[in-house]
Amino acid sequence: MGLQEDNLIALHYELVIRKSFDCDRNKHKAHSAYMQNLIWAEQGNNAVNHLPSYEKQLEQIKNDISKAIKKLSVNKLY
């Protein structure tokens, strides 16, 4: 994927979390940087050494999205 596609995916992640929890980007890990870091790790970019492994990042993102979907379905915000 290109940089624009990566940024769009990361932005969608942020918007889903923010909509689910009705929060700003600094709460509930609702920042596109979390998804962007995961995408870069998946692509093999190891420039950022202080981040967890790809697998740990993926697990965290999956958990965050799962919580957001559950919250959306309960509150019917869609």
Dihedral sign, CA of 77, 62, 39, 57? positive
**pLDDT on residue 5:** 95
Residue environment code for 22-56, b if the CB has 16+ CB neighbours within 10 A, otherwise e: eeeeeebbbbbebbbbbbbbeeeeeeeeeeeebee
pTM of the complete model = 0.85
pLDDT at residue 78, rounded to an integer? 55
- pLDDT single digits (tens) 19-78: 999 999 889 999 999 999 999 999 988 666 788 999 999 999 999 999 999 998 887 655
- Check residue 62 and give its pLDDT: 97
Domain ranges of the chain: 3-75
Residue type present at position 13: Y
Contact 40, 46 (CB under 8 A): no
